[in-house]
Amino acid sequence: MQRNILFSLLIWLMEIVLVAGFVSDQWAMEIQSVEDKMLFDYFGPKKDAEIRKKSQDWFDHLFVKTGIRSSVYHYFIPTERERQMSVGFEDVGRHDLFPFIESRLNVLWDTVYQMIKRFIMACVWLPFLAVALAPFIVDGVIRRKISQTNFDYPSPMAHRYSLYAILGAFYLVFMGLTLPFPVPPQSIPVGVFIVAYAVNVMLANTQKRV
């Protein structure tokens, strides 16, 4: 299990590197534009403005006010003063290398902001998750109690694959935070129902003695 978690995190980090390395500035802006429109159309202006404000506040608090964002730019891109102090190398990379690095960093920070916004959008559905889970949990427990009374055999395969479905749904949400494609807000409630149904199957097929 630990190896699988590390492998999953490695894939996620590789996704971030690939996005930062190969996605163009224009493509990143188009992704945000399309996703913002979907967010506005689905949640309405009030909730959309709330999600945007909270996302910007989180981004500013975590990366701008702390100086992390500016430090990353400064680490990779020399200032004009540093250029002038490097006699003979003042214009090295000025018009090719460092503009390219700056564009990659812009994409990286746009991805971080988009990741925060997608996370906040997912959190909006948490109350819905609780409401959706309750009847599925109750039904699963009742089905398990019934199977205990009439000696039905719970299915280990159904239990195992329902657990895989739950973990897979959460992993897809995790990976979706940094996907270089617009993520529709409707994907979260679909995932909620998948998780709720999988929980129902898992509880109904839990072994009689735990």
- CB 199 within 8 Å of CB 139: no
Cβ contacts of 127 within 8 Å, gap of 6 or more: none
pLDDT of amino acid 32: 85
pLDDT of amino acid 210: 45
SS3 assignment, position 66? coil
**Domain residue ranges of the chain, discontinuous segments joined by +:** 1-117, 125-210
pLDDT of amino acid 208: 59
Residue 203 pLDDT > 50: yes
Residue 65 pLDDT > 50: yes
User: Within 10 Å of residue 56's Cβ, how many Cβ atoms?
Assistant: 14
List Cα–Cα distances, 76 to 1, 96, 103, 143, 156, in angstroms.
37, 14, 12, 59, 53
Q: How confident is the model at residue 2 (pLDDT cuts 50, 70, 90)?
A: low
Instruction: Write the pLDDT tens digit of every residue in 11-57.
Output: 767 777 777 667 777 877 888 888 888 888 888 888 889 999 999 99
- CB 187 within 8 Å of CB 35: no
Residue 128 token pair = 């819905």
Q: How far is CA 139 from the centre of its chain?
A: 30
As a whole number of Å, the CA-based R_g of the chain is 23
Q: How far is CA 194 from the centre of its chain?
A: 18
Residue 133 pLDDT > 90: no
pLDDT of amino acid 7: 67
Instruction: Write the pLDDT tens digit of every residue in 138-186.
Output: 888 888 887 777 766 777 888 888 888 888 888 888 888 888 888 888 8
